[in-house]
Every structure is written in C-alpha cells, then in structure tokens.
Amino acid sequence: MSLLQVRDLHLHIGDQHLVRGVDLSIDAGECLALVGESGSGKSLTALSLMQLLPSNARLEHREWLFAGQDMRFVDEAGWRKLRARRIAMVFQNPMTALNPTMTIGRQIAEVINLHTGKSRRSALARAVELLDRLGIVNAPRRARQYPFELSGGMLQRAVIAMAVACGPSLLIADEPTTALDVTVQAEVLMLLRELCSDEGLGLLLITHDLGVVKDMARQLAVMYAGRIVESGSCEQVLRDPAHPYTRALQAAMPSLGGEAQSLQGIAGTPPDLSRQIDGCAFAPRCPQAMNICPRRLPPAFSPVPEQRVECWLWEQAR
C-alpha cells in the first residue's frame, strides 16, 4: 500500500482554480518527481499536502490517505502534530527559510523540542548530532551561528536537518536546489537520495529541472496549468515522452555531453487560471493541436503500461 494516495485534488484561491484535479501516489522509500514550469501549481500542490495554505484557499479532493489514515478527518490541531513529525518540507530558498535572528541550532532544536518533548539542552545536542550527520563540518560551532553566517549549501543542509529531525515518513522538497550554486546542487540532491533510501522516506521532489530528475526519481509526473498531463516511470517518460508538453519541456532543456542541439523555447504563456478551461490547457501553445483539443478535456491514455498521458493525439493513434 502506498504511503500517500491523493485523488482528484482541487485548489481554489480567490477566483483562481490553481490545482485542477491532481492524482498522486508515493510509496515509502520511493521518490516521485513533480516537474513543470513556474506557475504550474507544483508548489501549491506541495503546500496543500502540508495544509499550509492561505486562509482564502479552498481545498477539495475525492480521496486522501496518508499512511492508511484518512486525512479528511484531521483538524488543524491534528495537522500540527503531523507536520514535521510525519510530513516534513524542505523549501526552495534556505537563505529566507530560516529565521534570521535565531541560531541554527536553536531552530532545529525547536522542532525536536516541540514534537519529542525533549529538554532544550538535549534537543540542542540532537540538533548538533543531526548537523554532523548531514555532513556539516564543525557542527557544534555552526549550531551556535546565525543563518547569515553560513553558505547557501550549509543552510540547505540545516533546513534538511530540521525537516528530518523528527523522523518523518514523507519529505516534500520544493525545488531544493534552485537557489543554490551549481556545485552544491549535486551534494544536496545526493543527500536527499541517501535519506530516502537509508531511512525509507517517501520523497516528493518538486523541480523544473528535468536533468535533476533522471538520477533521483523512479516515478515522474509532469504538471501543466494545475493538472498532471503525463506520468509514469521516470525512465520511460524521459525516453519516450508521450505528451507534446513533455516533449517541448525536454527540447527546452540544454543537455550536457549530448550532441549539440538547438534549444527550443515554448511559445506563448500559461493560461489564465481564473477563467474556466474546458479542454486541454496546453492546446493554445501546442504545435500539434487539433480542433477538439481546446473544447474537451482529454481522458487518460496508456501508450505503454505504467505510463499515463492526457492527450487527444493518443485517441487518434488508437
């Protein structure tokens, strides 16, 4: 049974319909990569899974199971107990995600103290231990320092330490390497992958970088305008993308070491989500769009088992 199972997740904020029916499923010890342009709703999906939404947000779903528990019946107090203890999150920019006037150690100790009831001193000791385990040199000294004194890579390690401090079973990493130097990115990703396999964590990795996905995730979901348009095993989807958007995304990616190709941008802009969208949201930008595309939402097709795509081209191909 999977660790997290969500079906038909919808999110409205104000008059914007930002997440429009997302299905997700993550197994323990497995990594699911969620890929898409900025504004496609990936980060909001992540925040929804932590119930960390603004007060004017409206969340709907058909099914939502986490570790066998039906999340429909969890109230705010229950969520507070779940956050960090069972589901933790790593944010995009470690420079802003940490309180600038609190030492690193205390910030990590705070979450340990909150969920395990350890004394402040032993929580602090545990924090130092964690920092050390996550590869921070001279951890006791670092723990006494403030965020502005540490480099971005070290800060992201500290944020990860904070996230895994209470031994969660699901980790959501929202573009964890975007704000970091290229040289540090690989280290942080490696760290996440190790945690995932060593501790049996489920990992939801959100990124716009297809290059990252290959080495990290077994499963891949591609999101466009609030919907998952294609999903499947990482290998299969990357080798043989079935949705024109996935293909366009891949063409827009520079590849290292491959033969020199011309990069292709995707013309146009993502749709206005405050308007009702009847058909495929990508149709206005799609080079292969057909008459039906903007009018009717395509159903899911499976070109090969374990690959799922929402595109009318596959109806025609059948």
Partner 1 sequence: MLRYVLKRIAYGALTIWFIATATFFAMHAVPGDPFNSAKAATPQLRENLRARYGLDKPVGEQYVLYLKNMLRGDFGISFTQENRRVNDIIREHFPVSAILGVVALLIATAGGIAGGAVAAYWHNRLPDRLLMMAVVLAISIPSFVIAALAQLLIVQANDLTGRSLLPVAGWGTLSHLWIPALVLGLGTMAYLARLMRSSMLDVMNTDYILTARAKGLGNWQIFWRHQLRNALLPVVTELGPTIAAITTGGFVVELIFAIPGLGRYFVQAVQQLDYTVIMGTTVFYGAFLVLIVVIVDLLYGVIDPRIRLHGGRR
Partner 2 sequence: MSYLATDFEPLPPQAPETAETLIPSPPLWRLLLGDVRACIAALTVVAMLLLAAVGPWIWPQSPATQWLSQVSVGPSGARTVDVVPDDPWQGPDRAVDSLTALQATTTAVKLAWPSLPTAVSYRVYRNTGGVGLGMPLTETVNTYYADHLQLSEQTYRYSVVPVKVDGTTAEPLWIEVNPRLTLGAFEAKLLGLVPHEGQVSLPAHPLGTDALGRDMLSRILHGARTSMLVGLSAPLLFITLGAFYGALAGLLGGWVDNLLMRFADFVVALPFLLFMILFRVALGIESGESGLFPMVLAMVLLSWPSAARLVRGQVLQLRESAFVMSARLAGASNFYLIRRHLLPNVLPLLLVSLSFAIPQAIFTEALLSFIGMGVVPPTPSWGTLCNEGIRSMLTHPHELVIPALAISATVLAFNVLGDALRDAMDVKVRRGVR
Residue 314 touching partner 1 (CB under 8 A): no
For the stretch 121-128, contacts whose Cβ atoms lie closer than 8 Å and that sit 24 or more positions apart, written own/partner, are 126/165, 127/161, 127/165
Residue 65 touching partner 2 (CB under 8 A): no
* Residue 48 vs 231, nearer CB to partner 1: 48
| Identified binder of partner 1 from the candidate list 8, 14, 38, 52, rule CB under 8 A | 52
Number of residues that bind partner 2 (CB under 8 A): 17
* Residue 85 vs 285, nearer CB to partner 2: 285
Of 45, 60, 154, 50, nearest to 98 by C-alpha is 154
Site for partner 2 in 209-268 (CB under 8 A): 267-268
Of 275, 295, 280, nearest to 228 by C-alpha is 280
Check: CB of residue 68 under 8 Å from CB of residue 170.
no
Residue 297 touching partner 2 (CB under 8 A): no
293 binding partner (options partner 1, partner 2, none; Cβ < 5 to 8 Å by kind) = partner 2
**Tokens standing for residue 178:** 């975007």
Q: For tokens 């990703």, name the residue.
A: 189
Q: Which amino acid is at 164?
A: V
List, in order, residues 6 or more apart from 186 with CB less than 8 Å away.
Answer: none
Residue 102 touching partner 1 (CB under 8 A): yes
Query: What sign has the CA pseudo-torsion 27, 234, 223, 242?
Result: negative
* Residue 155 vs 283, nearer CB to partner 1: 155
CB neighbours (10 Å) of residue 244? 23
Residue 316 touching partner 2 (CB under 8 A): yes
What's the closest the beta carbon of residue 163 comes to partner 2, in angstroms?
Answer: 30
What mask, x for binding partner 1 by CB under 8 A, covers residues 133 to 152?
-------------x-xx---
The contact set with partner 1 (CB under 8 A) reads 50, 52, 79-85, 88-89, 91, 93, 96-102, 110-111, 114-115, 146, 148-149, 159, 162
